[in-house]
Chains A and B, each alone.
Chain A
Amino acid sequence: MTSTSLSPEPPGSWRRYFGFSTDAKVIGIQYIVVAFFFFLVGGLLAMIIRGELITPASDLVDRTVYNGLYTMHGTIMLFLFIFPVLNGLNNLLIPTMIGAPDMAFPRLNTAAFWLVPVFGTLLIASFFVPSGPATSGWWSYPPVSLQNPSGYLISGEFLWVLAVALSGISSIMGAVNFVTTIIRMRAPGMTWFRMPVFCWTALAAQSLQLIGLPALTGGALMLLFDLVAGTSFYRPEGGGDPVLYQHFFWFYSHPAVYVIILPVFGIFSELFPVYSRKPLFGYVYVALASFIIVGLGLIVWVHHMFPSGVAQWMRNLFMVTTMLIAVPTGVKVFAWLGTMWGGKIRLTTPMLFCIGGLFNFVFAGITGIMLATVPVDIHVSNTYFVVGHFHYVIYGAAVMGIFAAIYHWFPKFTGRMPYEGLGKLHFLLTFVGANLNFLPMHPLGLMGMPRRVSSYDTEFAFWNVLASLGAFLLGVSIIPFLLNMISSWVRGPRAPHNPWNAIGLEWLLPSPPPEDNFGEHVPTVISRPYGYGSGEPLVENQAQIERALTLAEATR
């Protein structure tokens, strides 16, 4: 190692976070910070929604406002929080994990990121146009989404479709970049089966983006034409078919769930070994299961449409494909349990978030199987049972996994250590809040409370009060997180290159890594990842590299 690749970032470089940087590590942090800004916006909308639903009557906001709030909550959380935050992690982790200096197409990467604030602004702007924001839910099913009571061309729905199309373009640009980088830019010696599982899951998820997004973007474009150009793709009075849109929408939007959850599986697979001090159990099976999930995930979308009037044979077929997804997913869950079994477990903040996330995910998987079976789905589809199920997946598992990743890799990319106490408090509030918020939604759905209602019959009041209290607790839970992030970034203890004693190329870089990562001195990988306890080095000359890093840390 030469001193050039060990030198820290140039001083005063915080300004680069506010400009058009092409450094994946800067873009990654830009993605994550912007995503959390929108997380707060979407969360605020959720607080108002739960405020309205704490009483049966529609008494807090007007019904039109309620419909706008829940539509924007879903849209913001998906397109402006969870996809950007995951792309942020991809940007930080993929190049450093595979030993690449940057992404394959750095300028495309910059463009993909800067589309996020553009369509974010478009979407938020829809609150200020005369029509108000889109009010037809994040599915935006026609014909209700085509009714434009304000009569203006620039309506909330128009801005919504535009924002979703731009988000699709941004995601396609990102996906091209991630897939190319993983395929072409791995360190010498890093064969497919020496690649960290996070990269496997990112590759699987981004392949899904490439396959699925064109369907959504095409479907949204036709919706736009119907809305502003008088076409009748989906308008029944012009001979169109409203159900056609549902196929386009779910052909992408079901796989989108796997785009979200697969990288989170990747995070679990990275973190359980570190904090159990054991290799990942059945690495090859875990890696390949991702691609089985991709294949099956593409042929299950009709399970969102069981009550839409699809033929009985289609219902049965899509029920079976949906059930099959439980098998590769089960392989992963059992692999994580196998990793922890007989390990030396450390309940650090990231590990607590992983265990809590796994707990919630197993629960969500069971309600998922219930939803897959047609007769039960007919009763609970479009009720709060579904809302409870997917919030367990998205918040209970995915967001918890994302928090785990942030705490785990925070020292690597900021060069500072986060505080454990605040982290554990954050975990406790999140875990209790999420379960208190989302568990009561299941009995509500079973009793027959439809989703998307601004008022409800009084028999649903009890569980709704509990859910609202849980939601407010979740709202509070973000405070220790924000405090922790800001405070430890500004004045946290300096992080060594490998504070968790983890194995991986990214931990052989200084914290924070220099702009071109390993530069011209990319180490040669000589063994599988997760060699905990085996004593085998991951790369050639590992001892030398680590000594140089420790020396540099001692003298800074």
Chain B
Amino acid sequence: MTSSFPRRFSPVALVALGFWLVLLALVSVWMSRQAFRWLPVQASNAAPLVDGLFSFETGVGTFVFLAVVSVMAWVMLVHRADKYDESDAEPVEGNTRLEVIWTAIPLVLVMAIAWYAIRVNTTLGVLGPMEHIHLVNPAEQQGGYPGDRLPAEQVQVIARQWSWEFRYPGAAVSSTELHLELDRPVTFRLVSDDVLHGFYIPAFRLKQDVIPGRAIDFTLTPTRLGRYRLRDSQFSGTWFATNQADVVVESPTDHAAWLKQAAAAPLQSGLSVAAAEYRERLNHPRVGWPTVVPAPPPQVNVPGTSTLPHDA
């Protein structure tokens, strides 16, 4: 009801406020740099884009958070009632100009973030990881993907309760460890034998649900040599936590050698922590409830390992 809000500030107060805002801005910039360190190593061409957006959001978010908390701290320190002061404060009921300002600023801010995110999204779509969903075609399952014209390596990913199997139709190789060639696009065809799973490689900043009854094509390019973790990210039952596999990004020569060696290897049981734990559970029953029996370990050329140290 009065127009005394905002009050007129003295020049000293304005300078102090400006100084404080600059300080908050500096802290925010520093936090946005730190943000990269909270994320795993960047091992795909998608990772720098995602991390750039996250860093930007961290910077903006830090500034907003600190600004709001500064006001809260200020009023708690300065506008506290004296101990025996039972009186009311000056009855300021609102200020239309301020309402307009603090509607407009967040609106502009979130739309700017959305615009940035849509741009990243579009770039990611051009780079590859744009999913293409279709029904499972049993003929295609046998090998090769007729109709695909991408110069990409093709890998079929089969998710089960609870193991991952990777088939390389071009080389007649199957494995429970995912081997990829550095800097060469790879197209995954994701299928599930039973329930929903999530194909998630944190170092690649990439996640896609695997949906039973559908095949989902998914392209990306690994950009860093190393050993990374693939984790199931959509809850899939008892041994969900163990449904992991290693992802090895190797040089073209190493990759060719691996494929050649793998093709010559005999089929054997692949990795399945769930199957091993289930056998253990049968021998030494623990207090627990009935569980879905794990699928038998897939028969593969290369079981790989899950005990080597991984980069992310």
Contact = CB atoms under 8 A, between A and B. Distances in A.
Interface in B201-245: 202-203, 205-209, 211-214, 216, 229, 231-242, 244
B121 A375 contact: yes
B91 A382 contact: no
Contacts of A132: 288-290
A237 B213 contact: yes
Given A375-B120, A378-B205, A370 B54 contact: yes
Nearest to A140: B235
Interface string A494-523: 000000010000000000000000000000
Interface residues of B, number: 99
B241 A366 contact: no
B69 A362 contact: yes
A256 B272 CA distance: 39
A362 B66 CA distance: 10
B40 interface: yes
Given A323-B113, A343-B89, A375 B50 contact: yes
B89 A452 contact: no
A347 B80 contact: yes
B268 interface: no
A189 interface: no
Interface stretch (A24-32, A105-113, A173-181, A527-535): A527-535
B118 interface: yes
Interface stretch (B95-103, B140-148, B165-173): B95-103
A340 B87 contact: no
Contacts of B205: 375, 378-379
Contacts of B231: 448, 450
Contact of B81 (A133, A277, A334): A277
A136 B291 CA distance: 12
Given A63-B241, A63-B288, A307 B91 contact: no
B39 interface: yes
A448 B200 contact: yes
A149 B292 CA distance: 5
Interface in A335-377: 337-338, 340-347, 355, 358-359, 362-363, 366-367, 369-370, 373-376
A375 B49 contact: yes
A375 B68 contact: no
B53 interface: yes
A453 B92 contact: no
Interface stretch (A313-321, A400-408, A428-436, A484-492): A313-321
A135 interface: yes
Given A307-B209, A363-B65, A501-B86, A319 B117 contact: yes
Contacts of A324: 107, 110
B81 A345 contact: yes
A437 to B, nearest CB: 18
- Is chain B's binding surface mostly helix, strand, loop or mixed? mixed
Interface string B241-274: 1101000000000000000000000000000000
Nearest to B107: A327
Nearest to B203: A448
A358 to B, nearest CB: 7
A2 interface: no
B76 interface: yes
Contacts of A307: 198, 207-209, 233-234
Given A149-B290, A285-B99, A376 B106 contact: no
Given A236-B213, A382-B234, A344 B54 contact: no
A89 B177 CA distance: 55
B241 A135 contact: no
Nearest to B105: A330
Nearest to A243: B211
Nearest to B216: A309
A131 interface: yes
Contacts of B312: 447-448
A532 B196 contact: no
Nearest to B288: A62
B130 interface: yes
Given A147-B195, A282-B99, A379-B207, A533 B216 contact: no
Interface in B110-161: 110-111, 113-114, 116-118, 120-121, 124-125, 130-131, 133
Contacts of A141: 196, 234-235
A207 interface: no
Contacts of B116: 373
B5 interface: yes
B89 A532 contact: yes
Nearest to A343: B89
Contacts of A231: none
A355 B80 CA distance: 13
B61 interface: yes
Contacts of A150: 289-290
B194 interface: yes
Nearest 9 CB-CB pairings of A with B: A448-B202, A132-B289, A236-B213, A62-B288, A533-B88, A533-B91, A344-B81, A453-B241, A366-B61
Given A344-B85, A362-B64, A453-B241, 11 more contacts: A237-B213, A278-B90, A309-B133, A326-B106, A374-B117, A376-B117, A378-B207, A379-B206, A446-B38, A452-B235, A532-B91
13 contacts: A141-B235, A323-B110, A324-B110, A340-B72, A342-B90, A359-B72, A370-B61, A379-B205, A382-B234, A450-B233, A453-B241, A533-B88, A533-B90
Interface of A: 58, 61-65, 67-68, 130-133, 135-137, 141, 143-144, 147, 149-151, 156, 236-237, 241-243, 276-279, 281-285, 307-309, 312, 315-316, 319-320, 323-324, 326-327, 330-331, 333-334, 337-338, 340-347, 355, 358-359, 362-363, 366-367, 369-370, 373-376, 378-379, 381-383, 443, 446-448, 450, 452-457, 501, 531-534
